[in-house]
Amino acid sequence: FLESKTPATVVLLLNSQEEDILVKACEAIHTFAEKGDVNNVLKKVDAIPSMIQNLTPEGEFLSRTDSVGPVSVDTIKTVRFTLNPRRVSFRHRSIFSPEDAVVQEFATLCLASLSADFTCRVQIYANNGMPPVIRLLTSSDPDVTKNSLEIIFNLVQDYKCLQAVHELGGIPSLLELLKSDFPVIQRLALKTLQCVTSDKETRETFREEQGFEKLMDILSNMDLADLHGEALHIVANCLRDGETLQLIHNDGGLARLMDFVLAPSTPAIQSTAVQCLSRVAQSCEGRGVLHEQEVEKALVELLSAADDDVKASACQAVAAMSFHPASKDSFRDWGAPIYTDNTATGPPAAAVANTLRRFRVNGGAK
């Protein structure tokens, strides 16, 4: 019956005091919202406030059904703006408490969409929305887990939220999800860890929870090759700390990095692996370790790579390694200044100039 009505009529029925009418109206709104050409109509007839009003924990089925409407329409930017962030985050926070996985699925799905907007992220954080979302990372429902990960990934784009993940004990849950049977969850967990490991205190917790060892397990598993790129980005973040350098040296991680440099599956992975070497080369100890691995020859060869990102990363690594006198001599023996002179155009130009500067101090290139 309701499916034949216009959106305006259905919205009026959302004000009914009878639950069965409200449920049918919510289902009809969902039907309309699934049709892209009707979304703007729903906005014009002001359906959003009525749907928000019904997002209460009173009546499990009603909460479940009415969550679907905002999920469908808030993917439209203009409609998302209409969804008052404070009210939406509060209402959705109130239905995190039921153990009904369907309610949690729709609530997290809606918040995942809303959290893409900066204003909504601020309101979710201000309304203490992060603790329940982090708790849902351990949900037995993979859809709830995935949605919760999307929310957290969006939230950690802001520094306060990034720190909060660490403070609220979210790192162990994120690491546990690396063992998920669902690749989309593994990838989202890695992308989130890539963001949060830009924070020094978080990296300390990451190491304490054997996060680096878990990354090495992924990088050593060729069945997980599609996740290697994200894992290497996290390694690059972690290598900002001297403690991680010791870990990578002791656990054979450096040899694994060299595998990605010498036999990469994609230029992007090769570039990221070389960036990791650059991070290692920021310390005197790291440069000594890399020289023992004879990285100079491989880096010189990459200076003539076809991919600009690989070339730029190689230039940066050569520049960092050239602070080590023995490496500087090795680079000259392999013709590094000649390669860099021929590379000094395009995106890698700044890195090339920096590299050449290293060779031209104290006597110039030979």
Per-residue model confidence as pLDDT tens digits over 6-63: 666 766 776 676 767 765 765 665 565 555 444 455 445 454 444 434 434 444 444 4
Can you give the pLDDT at residue 65? 46
Can you give the pLDDT at residue 62? 44
Largest alpha-carbon pair distance within the chain?
Answer: 88
Q: Which two tokens stand for residue 108?
A: 């997290």
Return the amino acid letter for 95: I
- Match 């599956």 to its residue by tokens: 265
Distance CA 136, CA 134 (A): 5
How far CA 336 is from CA of 23, 29, 300, in Å, comes to 71, 66, 6
CB atoms within 10 A of CB 94: 16
Can you give the pLDDT at residue 162? 92
Spacing of C-alpha 19 from chain mean position:
41
Distance CA 141, CA 316 (A): 44
Q: Which two tokens stand for residue 249?
A: 């040296």
CB atoms within 10 A of CB 296: 25
Can you give the pLDDT at residue 132? 87
How far CA 52 is from CA of 5, 19, 86, 107, 283, in Å, comes to 21, 15, 11, 12, 55
How far CA 64 is from CA of 61, 104, 198, in Å, comes to 5, 8, 37
CB atoms within 10 A of CB 200: 10
Question: Residue-wise pLDDT tens for the chain (366 aa)?
Answer: 445 456 667 667 766 767 677 657 656 655 655 554 444 554 454 544 444 344 344 444 444 444 444 444 444 444 444 444 444 444 444 445 555 566 677 677 777 877 887 877 887 888 788 898 899 999 999 998 999 999 999 999 999 999 999 999 999 999 999 999 999 999 999 999 999 999 999 999 999 999 999 999 999 899 999 999 999 999 999 988 888 887 887 777 888 899 999 988 899 999 999 999 999 999 898 899 899 988 999 999 998 889 989 988 998 898 899 889 998 888 888 876 655 555 545 545 555 556 556 555 544 443
Q: Which long-range contacts (CB under 8 A, 24 or more apart) does 359-362 make?
A: 359/322, 359/328, 359/331, 359/332
Give me the sign of the Cα torsion angle 240, 194, 173, 156.
positive
Domains of the chain, start order: 241-366 (1.25.10.10)
How far CA 86 is from CA of 122, 268, 313, in Å, comes to 9, 40, 44
Mean pLDDT of the chain: 76
Contact 252, 258 (CB under 8 A): no
Q: Which two tokens stand for residue 112?
A: 């995942």
CB atoms within 10 A of CB 98: 15
